[in-house]
Amino acid sequence: MEGIRADGGVAEARFEAVRAFAYGAGHEINNPLANIAARAQSLLIDERDPERRRKLATIVDQAFRARDMIGGLMVFARPPVPRRVSVDVHEVVRPVIEAVRAIAMARAVRLEYSPPPAPVAVVVDAAQVGEALRAVMQNALEAVDDGGRVVIEASAVEGGGARITVVDDGPGMDADAARCAFDPFYSGRDAGRGIGLGLPKALRLVEANGGRIAVESRPASGTRVSVDLPAG
Protein backbone atom coordinates (compact mmCIF):
# COMPACT_ATOMS: atom_id res chain seq x y z
CA MET A 1 0.00 0.00 0.00
CA GLU A 2 1.43 3.32 -1.02
CA GLY A 3 0.82 6.53 0.87
CA ILE A 4 1.79 8.18 4.12
CA ARG A 5 3.81 6.02 6.50
CA ALA A 6 4.15 6.77 10.20
CA ASP A 7 6.89 4.89 12.06
CA GLY A 8 6.49 4.62 15.82
CA GLY A 9 10.22 4.99 16.48
CA VAL A 10 10.27 8.49 15.04
CA ALA A 11 7.92 9.73 17.75
CA GLU A 12 10.03 8.54 20.72
CA ALA A 13 11.62 11.83 21.77
CA ARG A 14 8.38 13.76 21.31
CA PHE A 15 6.59 11.55 23.83
CA GLU A 16 9.11 11.59 26.69
CA ALA A 17 7.62 14.54 28.59
CA VAL A 18 4.10 13.17 28.09
CA ARG A 19 5.13 9.80 29.52
CA ALA A 20 6.59 11.26 32.68
CA PHE A 21 3.47 13.35 33.28
CA ALA A 22 1.08 10.52 32.41
CA TYR A 23 2.57 8.01 34.81
CA GLY A 24 2.59 10.39 37.77
CA ALA A 25 -0.85 11.79 37.04
CA GLY A 26 -2.27 8.32 36.53
CA HIS A 27 -1.47 7.28 40.08
CA GLU A 28 -3.04 10.43 41.50
CA ILE A 29 -6.21 10.19 39.40
CA ASN A 30 -6.87 6.47 39.88
CA ASN A 31 -7.46 6.75 43.64
CA PRO A 32 -10.35 9.28 43.48
CA LEU A 33 -11.83 7.39 40.52
CA ALA A 34 -11.89 4.19 42.56
CA ASN A 35 -13.60 6.04 45.42
CA ILE A 36 -16.21 7.56 43.11
CA ALA A 37 -17.02 4.18 41.54
CA ALA A 38 -17.16 2.39 44.90
CA ARG A 39 -19.47 4.98 46.51
CA ALA A 40 -21.78 5.08 43.49
CA GLN A 41 -22.00 1.27 43.46
CA SER A 42 -22.78 1.26 47.19
CA LEU A 43 -25.61 3.77 46.72
CA LEU A 44 -26.91 1.84 43.72
CA ILE A 45 -27.48 -1.31 45.79
CA ASP A 46 -30.19 0.26 47.98
CA GLU A 47 -31.60 2.79 45.52
CA ARG A 48 -35.16 2.07 44.32
CA ASP A 49 -36.00 5.21 42.33
CA PRO A 50 -35.51 4.33 38.59
CA GLU A 51 -34.21 7.76 37.59
CA ARG A 52 -31.70 7.88 40.45
CA ARG A 53 -30.58 4.32 39.63
CA ARG A 54 -30.01 5.37 36.03
CA LYS A 55 -27.90 8.34 37.11
CA LEU A 56 -25.86 6.29 39.57
CA ALA A 57 -25.27 3.60 36.92
CA THR A 58 -24.02 6.30 34.57
CA ILE A 59 -21.56 7.52 37.22
CA VAL A 60 -20.25 3.97 37.69
CA ASP A 61 -19.92 3.37 33.93
CA GLN A 62 -18.10 6.65 33.33
CA ALA A 63 -15.79 6.12 36.31
CA PHE A 64 -14.77 2.73 34.92
CA ARG A 65 -14.31 4.22 31.46
CA ALA A 66 -12.01 6.87 32.93
CA ARG A 67 -10.16 4.17 34.88
CA ASP A 68 -9.57 2.20 31.67
CA MET A 69 -8.37 5.35 29.93
CA ILE A 70 -5.90 6.09 32.75
CA GLY A 71 -4.75 2.47 32.69
CA GLY A 72 -4.03 2.70 28.97
CA LEU A 73 -2.21 5.97 29.45
CA MET A 74 -0.04 4.46 32.19
CA VAL A 75 0.85 1.53 29.94
CA PHE A 76 1.85 4.05 27.29
CA ALA A 77 3.91 5.98 29.83
CA ARG A 78 5.67 2.99 31.40
CA PRO A 79 4.91 -0.50 30.08
CA PRO A 80 5.44 -3.37 32.54
CA VAL A 81 8.68 -5.30 32.11
CA PRO A 82 7.94 -8.10 29.61
CA ARG A 83 8.52 -11.76 30.38
CA ARG A 84 9.73 -12.88 27.00
CA VAL A 85 9.69 -16.55 25.98
CA SER A 86 9.75 -18.37 22.66
CA VAL A 87 6.25 -18.92 21.28
CA ASP A 88 4.65 -19.68 17.91
CA VAL A 89 3.29 -16.40 16.51
CA HIS A 90 0.03 -18.14 15.58
CA GLU A 91 -0.55 -18.90 19.27
CA VAL A 92 -0.20 -15.17 19.99
CA VAL A 93 -2.53 -14.01 17.21
CA ARG A 94 -5.25 -16.67 17.33
CA PRO A 95 -6.66 -15.88 20.82
CA VAL A 96 -6.83 -12.18 19.97
CA ILE A 97 -8.85 -12.84 16.82
CA GLU A 98 -11.26 -15.02 18.80
CA ALA A 99 -11.60 -12.23 21.39
CA VAL A 100 -12.60 -9.60 18.82
CA ARG A 101 -14.67 -11.86 16.58
CA ALA A 102 -17.89 -11.04 18.43
CA ILE A 103 -17.35 -7.34 17.76
CA ALA A 104 -16.92 -8.06 14.06
CA MET A 105 -19.99 -10.31 13.89
CA ALA A 106 -22.17 -7.73 15.63
CA ARG A 107 -21.42 -5.26 12.83
CA ALA A 108 -21.28 -7.81 9.99
CA VAL A 109 -17.61 -6.99 9.42
CA ARG A 110 -15.66 -9.70 7.59
CA LEU A 111 -12.71 -10.70 9.75
CA GLU A 112 -10.25 -12.75 7.71
CA TYR A 113 -7.08 -14.38 9.05
CA SER A 114 -4.21 -15.98 7.16
CA PRO A 115 -1.86 -17.80 9.56
CA PRO A 116 1.67 -18.73 8.54
CA PRO A 117 1.90 -22.08 6.69
CA ALA A 118 4.42 -23.35 9.25
CA PRO A 119 5.24 -22.45 12.88
CA VAL A 120 7.16 -19.17 13.28
CA ALA A 121 8.89 -18.65 16.62
CA VAL A 122 9.05 -15.22 18.23
CA VAL A 123 10.48 -14.31 21.63
CA VAL A 124 7.95 -12.05 23.32
CA ASP A 125 5.63 -11.66 26.27
CA ALA A 126 2.56 -13.22 24.66
CA ALA A 127 0.11 -11.41 26.97
CA GLN A 128 1.61 -7.98 26.26
CA VAL A 129 1.83 -8.50 22.50
CA GLY A 130 -1.69 -9.93 22.54
CA GLU A 131 -2.93 -6.76 24.26
CA ALA A 132 -1.17 -4.65 21.62
CA LEU A 133 -2.66 -6.68 18.78
CA ARG A 134 -6.11 -6.45 20.31
CA ALA A 135 -5.81 -2.65 20.38
CA VAL A 136 -4.74 -2.66 16.71
CA MET A 137 -7.58 -4.95 15.65
CA GLN A 138 -10.19 -3.00 17.59
CA ASN A 139 -8.90 0.18 15.99
CA ALA A 140 -9.33 -1.41 12.56
CA LEU A 141 -12.84 -2.67 13.37
CA GLU A 142 -13.88 0.78 14.56
CA ALA A 143 -12.48 2.36 11.39
CA VAL A 144 -14.63 0.37 8.95
CA ASP A 145 -18.32 0.77 8.23
CA ASP A 146 -20.81 -1.98 9.04
CA GLY A 147 -20.28 -4.74 6.49
CA GLY A 148 -16.63 -3.77 5.98
CA ARG A 149 -13.55 -5.96 5.91
CA VAL A 150 -10.50 -6.43 8.13
CA VAL A 151 -7.73 -8.79 6.97
CA ILE A 152 -5.06 -10.14 9.32
CA GLU A 153 -1.98 -12.00 8.15
CA ALA A 154 0.94 -13.49 10.05
CA SER A 155 4.10 -14.50 8.20
CA ALA A 156 7.76 -15.26 8.71
CA VAL A 157 10.32 -12.50 8.17
CA GLU A 158 13.60 -13.10 6.37
CA GLY A 159 16.32 -13.41 8.98
CA GLY A 160 13.92 -14.57 11.70
CA GLY A 161 10.89 -13.30 13.52
CA ALA A 162 7.41 -12.58 12.26
CA ARG A 163 5.30 -9.84 10.77
CA ILE A 164 1.63 -9.40 11.57
CA THR A 165 -0.39 -7.09 9.33
CA VAL A 166 -3.88 -5.76 10.01
CA VAL A 167 -5.49 -4.15 6.97
CA ASP A 168 -8.89 -2.47 6.96
CA ASP A 169 -10.97 -1.08 4.10
CA GLY A 170 -12.01 2.00 6.06
CA PRO A 171 -11.68 5.62 4.92
CA GLY A 172 -7.92 5.76 5.50
CA MET A 173 -6.00 8.78 6.78
CA ASP A 174 -4.49 11.86 5.23
CA ALA A 175 -0.89 12.91 5.85
CA ASP A 176 -1.64 14.90 9.02
CA ALA A 177 -3.69 12.08 10.57
CA ALA A 178 -1.05 9.46 9.75
CA ARG A 179 1.66 11.52 11.40
CA CYS A 180 -0.47 11.67 14.58
CA ALA A 181 -1.38 7.98 14.59
CA PHE A 182 0.78 7.23 17.64
CA ASP A 183 -0.07 10.40 19.56
CA PRO A 184 -2.01 9.80 22.79
CA PHE A 185 -5.64 10.96 22.68
CA TYR A 186 -5.53 11.56 18.94
CA SER A 187 -8.50 9.98 17.17
CA GLY A 188 -9.45 10.41 13.56
CA ARG A 189 -12.94 9.09 14.29
CA ASP A 190 -16.01 11.00 15.40
CA ALA A 191 -16.05 12.22 18.98
CA GLY A 192 -17.06 9.50 21.40
CA ARG A 193 -16.02 6.57 19.17
CA GLY A 194 -12.58 6.20 20.74
CA ILE A 195 -10.26 7.70 23.31
CA GLY A 196 -7.19 7.68 21.09
CA LEU A 197 -4.98 5.34 23.13
CA GLY A 198 -5.14 2.13 21.09
CA LEU A 199 -2.18 2.66 18.75
CA PRO A 200 -0.03 4.54 21.31
CA LYS A 201 -0.46 1.69 23.80
CA ALA A 202 0.25 -0.88 21.09
CA LEU A 203 3.39 1.03 20.13
CA ARG A 204 4.78 0.96 23.64
CA LEU A 205 4.00 -2.71 24.26
CA VAL A 206 5.45 -3.84 20.95
CA GLU A 207 8.61 -1.79 21.39
CA ALA A 208 9.01 -3.05 24.98
CA ASN A 209 9.13 -6.54 23.48
CA GLY A 210 11.84 -5.62 20.97
CA GLY A 211 9.48 -5.21 18.04
CA ARG A 212 8.40 -2.44 15.71
CA ILE A 213 5.03 -1.11 14.60
CA ALA A 214 4.20 1.08 11.62
CA VAL A 215 1.12 2.50 9.93
CA GLU A 216 0.58 3.01 6.22
CA SER A 217 -2.50 4.81 4.97
CA ARG A 218 -3.99 7.21 2.49
CA PRO A 219 -7.49 8.64 2.06
CA ALA A 220 -10.11 6.31 0.56
CA SER A 221 -7.64 3.40 0.51
CA GLY A 222 -7.83 1.97 4.01
CA THR A 223 -5.06 1.51 6.56
CA ARG A 224 -2.39 -1.12 7.10
CA VAL A 225 -0.73 -1.64 10.49
CA SER A 226 2.40 -3.80 10.50
CA VAL A 227 3.81 -5.35 13.67
CA ASP A 228 7.27 -6.91 13.47
CA LEU A 229 8.23 -9.28 16.29
CA PRO A 230 11.75 -10.55 17.01
CA ALA A 231 13.01 -14.14 16.95
CA GLY A 232 15.21 -13.49 19.96
Nearest CA to 202 out of 113, 134, 120, 127 is that of 134
| Amino acid at the residue 187 | S
Neighbours of 18 (CB within 10 A): 16
Q: Please give the average pLDDT of every successive group of 10 residues along the chain, which has 232 residues.
A: 49 59 69 85 89 90 79 73 96 96 93 96 97 94 93 96 96 85 65 60 92 92 95 87
The pair phi, psi for residue 12, each rounded to 5°, is: -55, -55
Answer yes or no: pTM beyond 0.85: no
CATH fold label, 85-229: Heat Shock Protein 90 (3.30.565)
**Cβ partners under 8 Å of residue 13, min gap 6:** none
Given a contact cutoff of 8 angstroms between Cβ atoms, the answer to whether 89 and 229 are in contact is: yes
> Do residues 181 and 143 lie in contact, with contact meaning Cβ atoms separated by under 8 Å?
no
How far apart are the C-alpha atoms of 105 and 230, rounded to whole Å? 32
Q: How far apart are CA 130 and CA 124, in angstroms?
A: 10
In degrees, to the nearest 5, what angle opens at C-alpha 86 toward C-alphas 81 and 87?
A: 105
Q: Where are the domains of the chain?
A: 6-77, 85-229
DSSP codes of every residue in 188-217: SS-TTS--S-HHHHHHHHHHHTT-EEEEEE
